[in-house]
Amino acid sequence: MIGIAILGSTGTIGVNTLDVIAREPGRYRVTALTANKNVDALFEQCRTWRPPLAVMVDTAAAKRLSQALRAEGIATEVLVGTEGLCDVARHPETHYVMAGIVGAAGLLPNLAAARAGKRVMLANKESLVMSGQLFMDAVRLSGAELLPIDSEHNAVFQCMPTGFSRGLNEVGVTRILLTASGGPFRTRELTELEHVTPDQACAHPKWVMGRKISVDSATMMNKGLEIIEACWLFGTTQERVEVVVHPQSVIHSMVEYVDGSVLAQLGNPDMRTPIAFALAWPERMASGVATLNLFDIRKLEFEEPDPRRFPSLRLAREALTAGGTAAAILNAANEEAVSAFLANEIRFPRIAAVVEETLDKIDSSAATDLDIVLDADRRAREHALGIVRRQSSR
């Protein structure tokens, strides 16, 4: 049986992964489940799946989970913190790692999985945004398999020809077209964005996601991060990666070829499709996703993203151009700005403003090792938090 560690098992990606593997009894074995602080949810998952290992990032939560499992007679061993995450990611009984932790918190365990030669099913775009070259080097040196779970990159992967790692020119690919729904504020008057609430920003019109990712979709920073991720995954430059607003969220992304062909991957907006693809690759397996009915959809629309509405796209491209640790700075500032918005400390348009000021003030340097990346992340967070505190005190 294939051993799977699910990092972030209580989140959307983790829950959907468990749903998919439940459809293939006898094929997969859960070796580890992990969460940050959600003891109740992780306890229920452990009771159902009986993994040998579980991880709680929060120390107090780990103690509570361990006590609850012992009281129930469940033999799952509970590990703690980031080191616990790294331990289960590189564990010898783990063959596949579902990298579902949101944000920079996923970098170290994902890198541990890559260095250990696992199949890394990457739903955490920040790992490549922060440490692209270091991460890809780890994959290459260890012989790990890197399969994207983000619906856009998974779609691109499905539309790419065999051997694309030799270079896109070698296989006749001219462009990657990343689709974007446009989020909940695609048609909202710009003057109204000053007054939107966190709940409104998290009400995605098509996808069910966590709050941080939902806000990133509303600002389209998620698409900016995906541009950076696509460059690393597919060995290309940002000039070959274009964002297309597609409100129906039926076409998940496209690949254009030198002969004029454009291949697209279509499906209902459900993360179980890319999850099932990565689990079974190079085969296919049932995911539980409903069949796409084109007659119900009737039309597919495409728009250019509005640069005034979505300044985050420009900021991501500027960070990619700057290179080095600039993308890590971008990501860290965005995480802190989104957190502040969700806590009602800043208004929605200030998210991009905090990121831009942080990028302007924190110098980028060559990302030659992980310590440099993590230091850039720390400095960017401190600066972004300083901006938020100044605004909150007014």
pLDDT in tens, the chain (394 residues): 999 999 999 999 999 999 999 999 999 999 999 999 999 999 999 999 999 999 999 999 999 999 999 999 999 999 999 999 999 999 999 999 999 998 889 999 999 999 999 999 999 999 999 999 999 999 999 999 999 999 999 999 999 999 999 999 999 999 999 999 999 999 999 999 999 999 999 987 777 778 998 999 999 999 999 999 999 999 999 999 999 999 999 999 999 999 999 999 999 999 999 999 999 999 999 999 999 999 999 899 999 999 999 999 999 999 999 999 999 999 999 999 999 999 999 999 999 999 999 999 999 999 999 999 999 999 999 999 999 988 765 5
Do the domains at 2-148 and 316-392 have one common CATH topology? no
CB 300 within 8 A of CB 254: no
pLDDT at 393: 57
pLDDT for res 206? 74
Single pTM value for the model: 0.94
CATH fold group of domain 316-392: Rna Polymerase Sigma Factor; Chain: A (1.10.1740)
Considering the domain delimited by 2-148, tell me its CATH architecture: 3-Layer(aba) Sandwich (3.40)
Cis peptide upstream of residue 148 (ω within 30 degrees of 0): no
Write phi, then psi, for 371 (nearest 5 degrees). -60, -40
> What are the domain boundaries of the chain?
2-148, 156-268, 316-392
Polymer length in residues for the chain: 394
- Structure confidence at residue 388 (pLDDT): 94
pLDDT attached to residue 391? 75
pLDDT score recorded for residue 394: 58
